[in-house]
Structure 1
Amino acid sequence: MSTVSHDLSGLVQPPEDVTFGLRATVEWRGDAAIVHAHGEVDAYTLPMWRRVLREAATATAAPGPLVIDASGLDFMACRSMLALAEESEACRRRGVRLCVVGGRSIVARVVDLLDLDALLPIYSSVDDALAGAVPGGHLQQSKAG
């Protein structure tokens, strides 16, 4: 009986470029920064995710907002949501409102599971996030004259 040895080391090694699964761009609309994220945020891409969040938050002047459009993500690890919550707290201390767009249930489910609703208001679109929102994620009520 003969056995054939197969080199599987390439299949279990992390790729050299661990950011291959996450792509992010920043769009500016006036004072608002919008981070459009696509792909996956997992253990391999978490360092890039943190860097993107930090750089966008640093570049956003109060009152912001900083909108994280996660609707293009296929996967978000719980740790990526915790990173968002940490950045949201840092933004709030600087007077910048951070909110998340998550048209798919993946974002809302993880936020709900981790009980992060107060830190990460979820909107169904970028326009909804930009229109009339105040810190805490509540829509501003129009004042009857």
Structure 2
Amino acid sequence: MNTNPSHVRRYELPAFDGEPPDVSARVGADLETRSTTTVLYVRGDIDAYTITRWRRVLDDAFRRASESGQLVVELNGVTFMSCRSILDLACRAQQHHDTLRVSVVKAAPSVVDRVITAAGLTPWLTVHTDLADVIPTTTDPPRPNPRVWTHHEIDRGTPTHQ
């Protein structure tokens, strides 16, 4: 794996405004950004009490991953994950399916991969047992920005390039 410091930044996601102090202690998250992948490392219990933090963590991770084109959610530090939290992850993955590839890493077979499979969520969430299986070992060239044509350019038949 490429661990060049110029390509990898890792930081802990802090407590969000208005969040009870014990919630961020119960669900911790680190985000590692690379040129081709964003990895969200999650630890703790994701349950009804911590679901709001989980959703905020996901929203932040999806926003940051939009630049790299891939989000990997590493769950090896998670001791409990409710079905609702898995569905929240899948819903966000489905919303970003055209622009973002989302994978889940859990070292041992678990309830998480069984729920994903049983609920038919595999088109949006692929489950892997090893982080190395989903993180490219080389740096891919930057993804081009999709070209958006204006109605005026399409009507004229002479698109201009930005």
Query: Which TM-score applies when normalising by structure 2?
Result: 0.65
Q: Choose from 98, 102, 115 the match for 1:98.
A: 102
d(CA) in 1 for partners of 2:44, 2:22: 14
Deviation at 1:130, TM superposition (A): 2.0
Check the 8 A contact 1:31/1:61 in 2, yes or no: no
Deviation at 1:108, TM superposition (A): 1.1
Indicate yes or no: 2:49 matched with 1:44: yes
Unaligned runs of 5+ in 1: 1-14, 133-145
Deviation at 1:30, TM superposition (A): 1.7
4+ residue segments displaced more than 3 Å:
none
Deviation at 1:62, TM superposition (A): 5.2
Quick one: percent identity of the two aligned structures?
32
| Segment drifting more, 105-114 vs 71-80 | 105-114
Check the 8 A contact 1:31/1:60 in 2, yes or no: no
2:81 corresponds in structure 1 to: 76
Check the 8 A contact 2:38/2:68 in 1, yes or no: no
2:142 corresponds in structure 1 to: none
Q: Choose from 120, 124, 147 the match for 1:115.
A: 120
What count of residue pairs does the alignment treat as equivalent? 117
Query: Structure 2 matches for 1:60-75, cutoff 5 A?
Result: 60-61=65-66, 64-75=69-80
d(CA) in 2 for partners of 1:99, 1:76: 16
Unaligned runs of 5+ in 2: 1-19, 138-162
